[in-house]
Amino acid sequence: QQQVKQSPQSLIVQKGGISIINCAYENTAFDYFPWYQQFPGKGPALLIAIRPDVSEKKEGRFTISFNKSAKQFSLHIMDSQPGDSATYFCAASKDTSGSRLTFGEGTQLTVNP
């Protein structure tokens, strides 16, 4: 059972454009939602994370929008750059000690120059 669904599977954006990746979760007990970025040949690395007490979190060009009632959250990359080309994974877990992350299927982002 896939508890975190991510879309789209792949995304092509022009340099300077906005990249948007969406995730939906099923388990209402989840209360920690990170996004990971993975470059080819490397392991995923934490990009940004949000907890449901806020509806939006921004770090530089990266923003998470969170909709608790819809059980959805999304990653927005403003002014997308070729260096942002990577695979992005959303994830979710309970925000408690020992909890395990459930990952989405991943989105391969390509930003064309």
Provide long-range contacts, Cβ within 8 A and 24+ apart, for 59-63: 62/35
54 CB-near residues (< 8 Å, 6+ apart): 66
Residue 83 contacts another protein per CB under 8 A: no
Residue 30 CB, nearest approach to another protein (Å): 12
Residue 66 contacts another protein per CB under 8 A: no
The strand pair at 33-38 and 10-14 is best described as: unpaired
Nearer to another protein, 20 or 48 (CB): 48
Residue 104 CB, nearest approach to another protein (Å): 6
Q: If binding means CB under 8 A, how many residues of this protein chain bind another protein?
A: 24
